[in-house]
Amino acid sequence: MRITFLVFSAAVLLALLPAGGAGADEWPFGKSTGFKKLDAFNLGLIGAKGMDAAKPKPDLNAPPRGGMQRSEAQEGGDEGPNRLRIDVLFPGGPAAKAGIQSGDVLIGIGTRAFSDGCVEPLAKALLKAEVSKGEVTLLVKRDGKTMKVKVEIPKKGTDAKKPHKGKARARIVGGALEWLKGQQQADGSFKETLSGKNGAVVLTALAGLAWLGAGSDLKNGPYSDNVARAAQWVAKAVKDTSSPFGKAKPGAPSWNQWNWGWAHAAIFLGELHKRTPDATVLDGLTFCAMRLVETQEQSGGWAHGPGGKNALDYLELNIVTGLALCGLGCAKQNGFDVPESTIEKAEQYLKASSSGGGVGYSAGPGQRGSGNIGRSAGCWLGYRALGQKSKFGKSLGSWTKRNCGAIFGGHASLMQHIFLAGVAANAAGTGAKKDFWKAALPSFVLARAPDGSFQPRPWHETLSMGSNSDVTFGEVWTTATWTIILVADRKAFKGFPVWLGDSRLRR
């Protein structure tokens, strides 16, 4: 009887509340005057985000603490906490319409409280709801009282059971592409977030790749105009290093990060020019490839950008090395002559930094050794694009194929590891794809938002450090990268035959 009363009371109470939820933070990351933003777990199509209820909500307007400092202890990690305080509501979304309020604490699904984290149960409940009833029942605490709240989400039928395949995937891709279209600015670019104009180059190149992989190019497809404007802007922007993040002052730590921009731009422009040749695109691609050759460090690796060590006193990092090799490979397939010495130096460097085939952080003291999937997958994709078939390359490929599911074993940006592992899994084949999606599916389901975008999530490192670069980089970054993973499957989409090392285009 008590449970029945609670359910009835909650239904009456929630019906009287205005849609939107009282006191909710601004979607998607809270309102802040700087880079500090809420690093919250997204609840998928429910349209809400939450954080560990055992920890006070962070003050986004508080002065920065200075440097990377460890955060207060949090319950859970990659599996999510057992008690999730709702801090952000999607305006007019399913949770808001159901009467969920900011400050409510989500403790379970239906009648069952979370015991081993909220991520897996939430993802399973959402998939089940999309397939069958079109609703999910949240177990919520408010002001010390427990209540059940039924949240309605769109019902899509049996194909929604596997959202990364078939009709469901096509539908999700379509929503994401439209969302990206809505975020593109008049000049073809996307708003600057992390790393100024260089970051905008990365975001614009990735959005362009998403449209391109789904079938649009300079001449064909529903997003041909978006692709063309993105390409024109990127081809010009890569030559303008006036961004404060692109300057390296003599004697000072280098914050130059342009290798990220040039590498992503070269992948996009190289894939695009191979499909629909264009003089401006080729000019931008050639410029990026030349710069990547020039900025290779003497060691053979690549840093964030030219100019020496950064403020954290390191130079090379192999996530950039892998992306640089990918960019050079895409340029090579479009006629750019990549010097053999560049490739040879890179391989010697990677071999020195690696163990067992996996690419380590760098070749520096204390940074050599076992790899992670982001670095290794990026380097292997670079080898494929370059057509390299060395003994080390084969070892790197074997390691990557075995570890495509190890997405939580990396460092810094979780989405970077998911992104490169997901693309590599499409190149590696069925077994690698199964491993990847077994690990990534819950995060994928919860990343989806009611507007078609994908949202970043916390993980053990960001929960420990109190900082998430995926959140700072923003929802364009997360939406474009998840979409690229989905359209990299050439059995269903145009995909990326240049980047994945198969330039035989389907016409």
- The pLDDT value recorded for residue 164 is 97
Is residue 66 pLDDT above 70, yes or no?
Answer: no
Local structure of residue 369 (DSSP, 8 states) = B
Residue 70: Cβ-neighbour burial (10 angstroms; 0-12, 13-18, 19+): exposed
Provide the pLDDT confidence category of residue 201 given band limits of 50, 70 and 90. very high
- Please compute the mean of the pLDDT values over residues 304-315 and round it to a whole number: 86
Average pLDDT over all residues of the chain:
89
Model confidence at 255, in pLDDT bands (50, 70, 90)? confident
What does the pLDDT read at residue 210? 98
Using alpha carbons, select from 79, 149, 85, 178 the residue that is nearest to residue 119.
79
In 333-413, which ranges are continuous DSSP H helix?
340-353, 373-386, 391-402
> Mind listing the pLDDT tens digit for each residue in 340-364?
999 999 999 999 999 888 998 878 7
Answer yes or no: is pLDDT of 324 > 90. Answer: yes
**What is the pLDDT at residue 24?**
64
Instruction: Check pLDDT > 90 for residue 2.
Output: no
Q: What is the signed CA dihedral for 452, 459, 194, 358, rounded to 10 degrees?
A: -110
Q: Lowest-pLDDT range, 139-148, 212-221, 444-453, 498-507?
A: 498-507
Q: Check whether 9 has a pLDDT greater than 80.
A: no
Provide the pLDDT for residue 33: 65
DSSP-derived secondary structure for 320-349: HHHHHHHHHHHHHTTT----HHHHHHHHHH
Query: What pLDDT sits at residue 346?
Result: 96
Segment 90-128, tens digit of pLDDT = 999 999 999 999 999 999 999 999 999 999 999 999 999
**pLDDT, position 411:** 83
Contacts of 294 (CB under 8 A, 6+ apart): 306
pLDDT (tens digit per residue) in 285-304: 999 999 999 999 999 999 99
Nearest to 485 by CA among 420, 414, 390, 394: 420
pLDDT at 73 over 50: no
7-16, 194-203, 263-272: the lowest-pLDDT one: 7-16
Percent of the residues in the chain that have a pLDDT greater than 70, as a whole number: 91
pTM, full prediction: 0.92
pLDDT tens-digit series, residues 429-454: 999 999 999 999 999 999 999 999 99
**Helix, coil or strand: residue 52:** strand
pLDDT at 398 over 60: yes
Domains of the chain with bracketed CATH: 2-159 (2.30.42.10), 162-487 (1.50.10.20)
* pLDDT for res 62: 72
Reported confidence tier of residue 465, pLDDT bands at 50, 70, 90: confident
Supply the pLDDT for residue 503. 56
pLDDT of residue 475: 97
With 0-12 / 13-18 / 19 or more C-beta atoms within 10 angstroms meaning exposed / middle / buried, residue 170 is middle
48 - beta bridge partners? 89
Out of 10-24, 112-126, 384-398, 424-438, pick the least confident.
10-24
Mean pLDDT over 198-220 rounds to: 97
